Amino acid sequence: MKDMIPVNSLARHIAPLQQQLSAAAARVVASGHYVLGPHVVEFERAFARYCGARECIGVANGTDALELGLRALGVEPGDGVAVAANAAMYGTTATQACGAQPVFVDVDATTGTLDPADLERVLADDDRIRVVIATHLYGRLADMAAIKRIAEARGVRVMEDCAQAHGAVRDGERAGAIGDAASFSFYPTKNLGALGDGGAVTTNDPAVADRVRRLRQYGWEGKYNNVDRGGRNSRLDEIQAAMLAELLPRLDEWNVRRRAIANRYSEGIKNPTIAVPPVAGDDYVAHLYVVQTETRDALRDHLAAAGIQSDVHYPTPDHRQPCHDGAFAEVRLPVTEHMARSVLTLPCFPELEDAEVDRVIESCNQF
């Protein structure tokens, strides 16, 4: 059998950069600053500039970024947060950590992002909702113009979940600078990934930024002076900030390669049993390349036999997760539920070779 083509390969991604990353780590070790030091400040400034946002606040991980962003936008216990149910529970987890209630919105059948029409229906039916989380799923920007228009008409704020969309841009606006606030994950598999956990909140609102800075360090206004409830120890550490600062200048090049692979798939896969996403421009950074098929298990077996890995992002919608113990049993999200049964992720990462892309296309067309 030919070598297995992986869905992703961090080893391939990092290997050419080992010398630069080792040097960055050595600079941190030599600096004597290990928590909230100059490397965090440098990366926060650089990433804010990159996104086109006024402020960036580094935190420990992407889920903390969502939670602290929601708190900074004013979410309190008992409030509602409108959220999609097809993005692996991260938005729902953050909402529940705030003591708020997730209110699920169905998604567009092609993009998997929030369906503006269903969002309008949900907001009209539930006046508890304080914030909408707009997840840019698989690296594709949600319909932010429509989402913002609908939310603003009801005084609801918009939080972007950009964990899969570093660098995506539409009409001159980049992910992280479109909503009232945005969360990022720098988990190693992300388009911009650290060598460990990390996250950030970006915003153009200084009050939101100030509150996130307090919340990431116990809710302190000054040392040992806690003024905000819900604070925690959630700080991006100096080593990861130095790694990210080293990697950030390469992000656009990586995104171009990801999108080129994705568009080759969309143009080349001609199997009528496999629905491919549309060929895309800069508003899609191909964090994941996800097709839909009614014969997912059979296709997975076929690809595996051809030496091609696949994955499912994501198999269980939030409202059907067992941790809820049936609390959302009456919720019906037909598009979300269909996608959970039909989505399949194909290999897509910057170091994927052209010959490997051809093998994936050929195998899909032979299915």
pLDDT digits (tens, 9 = 90+) for 96-119: 999 999 999 999 999 999 999 999
In a domain, 119, yes or no: yes
> Do residues 68 and 202 lie in contact, with contact meaning Cβ atoms separated by under 8 Å?
no
Residues whose CB is less than 8 angstroms from the CB of residue 223 and which lie 6 or more positions away in sequence, other chains included? none
Task: Please give the residue range of the domain that contains residue 339.
Answer: 251-366
In a domain, 207, yes or no: yes
Q: Examine the pLDDT at 190 and tell me if it is beyond 70.
A: yes
Among 229, 249, 269, residue at a domain's last position: 249
Question: 93: domain CATH number?
Answer: 3.40.640.10
Separation of alpha carbons 271 and 37, rounded Å: 53
Q: Examine the pLDDT at 193 and tell me if it is beyond 60.
A: yes
Closest CA to 347 of 262, 255, 252, 259: 262
* pLDDT tens string 122-141: 999 999 999 999 999 999 99
Among 217, 249, 281, residue at a domain's last position: 249
Statement to judge: residues 38 and 73 lie in one domain: yes
Prior bond of 187 cis (ω within 30°): no
DSSP character string of 69-84:
HHHHTT--TT-EEEEE
* Element containing residue 123 per DSSP (H, E): helix 116-125
Statement to judge: residues 209 and 330 lie in one domain: no
Three-state secondary structure call for residue 199:
strand
Statement to judge: residues 244 and 258 lie in one domain: no
In a domain, 321, yes or no: yes
The structural domain count of the chain equals 2
Question: 351: domain CATH number?
Answer: 3.90.1150.10
Measured between its terminal Cα atoms, the distance across the chain in Å is: 18
* pLDDT tens string 259-282: 999 999 999 999 999 999 999 999
Statement to judge: residues 190 and 61 lie in one domain: yes
Predicted pLDDT of residue 121: 97
- Model pTM? 0.97
In a domain, 178, yes or no: yes
In a domain, 5, yes or no: no
- Express as a percent the part of the chain with pLDDT over 70: 99
Statement to judge: residues 275 and 296 lie in one domain: yes
Q: How confident is the model at residue 151 (pLDDT cuts 50, 70, 90)?
A: very high
- Stretch 187-214: mean pLDDT: 98
Mean pLDDT, the chain, rounded, equals 97
Separation of alpha carbons 196 and 198, rounded Å: 7
Statement to judge: residues 80 and 173 lie in one domain: yes
Number of residues assigned to the chain = 367
Statement to judge: residues 18 and 146 lie in one domain: yes
In a domain, 2, yes or no: no
Predicted pLDDT of residue 1: 54
* Element containing residue 292 per DSSP (H, E): strand 289-292
* pLDDT tens string 36-90: 999 999 999 999 999 999 999 999 999 999 999 999 999 999 999 999 999 999 9
Predicted pLDDT of residue 49: 98
> In the structure, how many helices (H) and strands (E) does the chain have?
13, 13
Statement to judge: residues 238 and 257 lie in one domain: no
* Element containing residue 222 per DSSP (H, E): strand 220-222
In a domain, 222, yes or no: yes
- Stretch 311-328: mean pLDDT: 97
Statement to judge: residues 194 and 286 lie in one domain: no
Statement to judge: residues 164 and 298 lie in one domain: no
Statement to judge: residues 228 and 339 lie in one domain: no
Statement to judge: residues 282 and 244 lie in one domain: no
Among 249, 276, 291, residue at a domain's last position: 249
